[in-house]
Amino acid sequence: MKYLNAKKHIFFIAIGGIGMSAIALVLLKKGFKISGSDIKPNSLTEKLAESGAGIYFSHKAGNLKPDVDLVIYSSCINNANPEMLEAKSRGIKTVSRGTMLAELVAEKKGIAVCGCHGKTTTSGMIATLLREAGLDPTALIGGEVNYFGSNACFGRGDYLVTEADESDGSFLKLKPFYSVLTNIDEDHMDYFKDKSTLVRRFAQYVSNIKKGGSLIYSCDDPRLVLLKKYSCADNISYGFTGSACVRAKNITAKGYDSSFDCYYKKDFMGRFKIRVPGGHNVSNALAAVCVGVKLGLGAAEIKSGLLSFTGTKRRFQVHGCFSGVTVVEDYAHHPAEIAATLKAARHFKPKRVIGVFQPHRFTRTLYLADRFAGCFNLSNYLILTDIYSASENAIKGITGRVLYDKVKKFGHKHAVYIEKNRIADHICRIKKPGDMVIVLGAGDINEIAQELARKIR
């Protein structure tokens, strides 16, 4: 433990983030004194406070008490932050979130899930599967897993399950024993700059798998098939094609459940069921099956573990059906994710799918504007609103209204642009029994789903 040896009081700058709070919770369970700061409270800071962490809702030098001997900071924090300045003036060691995660992964047999889409659901499935199999894993997940009631759990077993975050390059710090690679897509291009750099970084990540470990990858993504050559580890593929080592066939959907016949090297493992909708989630489940197979679990254990997974918050999270209107919230913020979520919604055969989308980040909206224009076709009615900046500076000519114009130009017949604070009232006026409202985005648009659940009742 390079950074944790002899450390007693650890301070987190931006402790309320999904990744930072997960590390803080695990270190609390390991016996460290934890405190931290953020700009406002949320459910994650509440959970941390209940668990014994000291939380401050401001960034001030005075938040670092005299006994603080390690500071962990989020990638969104710069050197001008008053707590960073205070730590450096006092000679306190500072490390990034990614560096600390890498240290935790190194302590155990790390199972890291990487890819541009599906990381949170896949890692949640794997962690649930391992817990149900009695392997007592530690898990740090990029969303609150219903099974754990948290985005983190601390276990005494040999395995640690986590997400490998490509958005800022911190995934290159990890050296997992098992690496699950779900897909590669154009995202976070403000960091990667171009497609070739994107692929090179993923190739570098694949080469970091520990000796004796395994690369688990989707063979439905041709770019991943090419990347496997960079791995010195044992490779195992999954997907819907005939070449997949772990394959799903005969997929059916009923309500929120998806069922499929699962095969391993052409041997029938059984009819599996997952309690989350959509073909993309069947693919995520196949990745979890691969992990189970590599760990020597039997088909019955894998089947039972998958059935115990009931999703994560903000991933097709159903708030309820109110006056015949179903309200769903989803974190989808990339065109591929939006299209997959709307396709999953269609399985429920609603009279209308009403999509509500808040673009996330100016850079993403800039790089993917043309793909956004065509990803909403499975919505009958679409509401677009302003861009959630995620602390980015505005880019001239990149706005929610400009994206709305592109969507209309692409041919969506029933798209409107509405300011965020007027969306709920607008939906209350146009709603009809049988509608499904899907609130999409990674920003604070989830507040609209909660507001609708209150108002439609």
Which residues are the active-site residues? 119-120, 163
Q: pLDDT tens, 175-202?
A: 999 999 999 988 787 888 888 899 899 9
Question: Which burial class, exposed, middle or buried, applies to 111 when counting CB atoms under 10 A from its CB (0-12, 13-18, 19+)?
Answer: buried
361 with 413, same domain: the answer is yes
Q: What is the CATH number of the domain that holds 69?
A: 3.40.50.720
103 falls within a domain? no
92 with 139, same domain: the answer is no
Question: Which burial class, exposed, middle or buried, applies to 327 when counting CB atoms under 10 A from its CB (0-12, 13-18, 19+)?
Answer: buried
Known binder of ligand: residue 117?
Answer: yes
| Domain end (from 274, 308, 342) | 308
What is the reported pLDDT for 229? Answer: 85
Q: What is the CATH number of the domain that holds 276?
A: 3.40.1190.10
The reported pTM is: 0.94
Position 219 pLDDT exceeds 90: yes
Alpha helices in 133-194 (DSSP H): 189-192
Strands (E), 97-245: 109-114, 138-145, 150-153, 159-164, 178-181, 214-218, 234-239
102 falls within a domain? no
290 falls within a domain? yes
| Domain end (from 260, 286, 308) | 308
Known binder of ligand: residue 197?
Answer: no
291 with 363, same domain: the answer is no
pLDDT band of residue 168 (cuts 50, 70, 90) is confident
255 with 380, same domain: the answer is no
pLDDT band of residue 233 (cuts 50, 70, 90) is confident
344 with 273, same domain: the answer is no
4 falls within a domain? no
Q: What is the mean pLDDT of the chain?
A: 94
Nearest to 141 by CA among 150, 151, 131, 132: 151
Known binder of ligand: residue 118?
Answer: yes
1 falls within a domain? no
Q: pLDDT tens, 74-114?
A: 988 889 999 999 999 999 999 999 999 999 999 999 999 99
55 with 153, same domain: the answer is no
153 falls within a domain? yes
Known binder of ligand: residue 120?
Answer: yes
55 with 78, same domain: the answer is yes
346 with 264, same domain: the answer is no
What is the reported pLDDT for 299? Answer: 97
Task: Name the phi and psi angles at 118, rounded to 5.
Answer: 90, 5
Q: Residues 268-276: what's their mean pLDDT? A: 97
228 with 330, same domain: the answer is no
What is the reported pLDDT for 28? Answer: 96
Q: Which helix H or strand E contains 262, and what residues bound it? A: strand 257-264
47 with 116, same domain: the answer is no
350 falls within a domain? yes
Task: Name the phi and psi angles at 324, rounded to 5.
Answer: 85, 5
| Domain end (from 308, 340, 374) | 308
- Structural domain count of the chain: 3
Range of the domain at 248: 108-308
Distance CA 262, CA 229 (A): 26
What is the reported pLDDT for 205? Answer: 93
What is the reported pLDDT for 192? Answer: 83
Position 6 pLDDT exceeds 90: no
Position 210 pLDDT exceeds 90: yes
258 with 332, same domain: the answer is no
Q: What is the CATH number of the domain that holds 436?
A: 3.90.190.20
What is the reported pLDDT for 183? Answer: 93
What is the reported pLDDT for 85? Answer: 97
What is the reported pLDDT for 391? Answer: 84
Known binder of ligand: residue 114?
Answer: no
pLDDT band of residue 1 (cuts 50, 70, 90) is low
181 falls within a domain? yes
Distance CA 33, CA 360 (A): 34
302 with 337, same domain: the answer is no
Query: Percent of the chain at pLDDT above 70?
Result: 100
